[in-house]
Amino acid sequence: MKQCLHCSEPLRPVRLECPGCGLGYDGSMRASRLSRLSADSADLAEKLILAGGNLTALAGQIGVSHPTARKRVDGLIAKLTALQDHDKAEADRILQDVEQGRRRPEEAARLIGEMNGSL
C-alpha cells in the first residue's frame, strides 16, 4: 500500500526493523523516489533494468512494439524527473529552514539523505 485509503496522500514509513537483531528505528521517514513510483512504473523500471536498458529486449518482454516501449520509458523518465524536481524543491525548503534556525543541520542532512535513497 502506497497511498492513504482516506485521502490518497502518499504514505511514509515510520518504523524500520532489523530482522537479524530486532533493533528498530521509529519516526517519520521519507521513501526513496523509486519506491514512490506506481506499481506499473516500478514494474517497468525493473524490467528495463533486467533487460540491460535494451529497449528491443524490453519491448519483447512486455509484448509491445519498440516505439511503444520507448513511449513507456519516456513516461517513466518524466515521472522520475517530476519526483526529482519535487525533492529538489523540498530540499531547498529544508535548507532554508536551517538558514533561518528552524531546523538543525543534522536533521536536514538526514532528511535530504532519505530523499535521495540513503539512510
CATH number at residue 55: 1.10.10
Given a cut of 90, is residue 1 above it in pLDDT?
Answer: no
- Tell me the C-alpha distance between 119 and 115, whole Å: 9
Q: Chain-centre distance of CA 12, in angstroms?
A: 11
Q: What is the pTM of this model?
A: 0.75
Q: Which residues pair with 15 in a beta bridge?
A: 26
**57 grid coordinates:** 529486449
Span 5-14, pLDDT tens digits: 899 887 888 8
pLDDT of residue 119: 53
* Mean pLDDT of the residues in the chain: 91
pLDDT of residue 71: 98
Is residue 9 situated within a structural domain? Answer: no
Span 24-59, pLDDT tens digits: 988 877 778 888 899 899 999 999 999 999 999 999
Count of structural domains within the chain? 1
